[in-house]
Each structure stands twice: as C-alpha cells, then as structure tokens.
Structure 1
Amino acid sequence: MKITIDIDCTPEEARAFMGLPDVKPMQDAVMVQLQEQLQRQIERADPDALMQTWLAPSIEGFAKFQNALWSAAMGKAKGEEETGTSDK
C-alpha cells in the first residue's frame, strides 16, 4: 500500500507546524556581523601583501612543476640519443 500526501505550505508554516524555532532573526544578526567583518578586512587588505602571500607561492610552484616536466622530457631525449633507440 502506498499513500501520498501533498502539503502546500511555506517553509515558515512548516516550521511552525512542526514546532521548530524561528531562527531568522538570529541568522539576520549573524549575517550583519559577518558583512561588517568582511568590509573591515577588505578595507585593511594590502594588495601587495596578498600578491606575495597567495600568488607568489602558486607561481613558484607552477615554475617548479614546469621545470620538473622539462627536465624529465630532456632526460628522456638524452637517453634516446645515447642508446640510439626510440619508443616508436
């Protein structure tokens, strides 16, 4: 046996019906605080410091990765030249 019940109500009505608390005022207060903190952090942010802190390590990491790939490719090419063989 299968029974289907469709209830047409808003989320607020469903919370009230189930006895759940209304947390909207608390969410609004937290969001206001979060927005104020973010705005303060943005105002204090130093673009040069952000570049050195976040972007420089990723560029260095990419350069190291690129060098590793390049040296691996060059090592393979040297190995083929020395033995006179290829993978073809």
Structure 2
Amino acid sequence: MASLLDRHPRLVLENCGSGGLRMDYAQLAVAQLQSTSDQQDPFRYPPIAAAAATAATPEQAAVWAYPSRTTASTKSPHPHRHSSAADTSPASSAS
C-alpha cells in the first residue's frame, strides 16, 4: 500500500477489517482512514465511536452511520426525546 501511495499521493485509503472491528496497526500506518464499525443504529453507535479513539487517532476514525427518520422514531430507547415540536406544543400536551 505504501508504494501505491508513493505513486498516487492524493489517493485516500480506508482500512476496514471485519466491519471495523479489526484494526491492524500496520494498515493504520499507511491508510488515512479506519472504518470503526458497520453498526448503523444511532443509539448503539456512540459507544463504538467514543472507544475508537483508543485504537485509532480521531482524525483516522471514520464514522459512516447516520440516523434515519425511521430508525430514530422506531428504535429509540427514549422515544419521548425524539418528539417533534408539534408534539410538545402546549395545545397538544393539554389533557
């Protein structure tokens, strides 16, 4: 990989072994990015992203997950934290 980067200095390489669960320091020495996980659940990903800095530099740790509207509304362990502004208006919360 190093010789490839010598020939193509603007090339960006990402290391991804086992969905980011396997980080190889020999690969990290030449790859600019390290995938941290294939996890896509935004409520399970934060601890993975936080722990990634124990193995790779924050600049190398690639996080590709993002919450979708469906995921945020159906899988939240705290569904009340994801209500819309319309759901929390005084008129709609009056009983």
- Pick the TM interval, shorter chain: under 0.3
Higher relative contact order (CA 8 A, sep 6+): 2
Q: How high is the TM-score relative to the length of structure 2?
A: 0.23
Write 1 or 2 for the structure with the bigger share of helix: 1
Write 1 or 2 for the structure with the bigger share of strand: 2
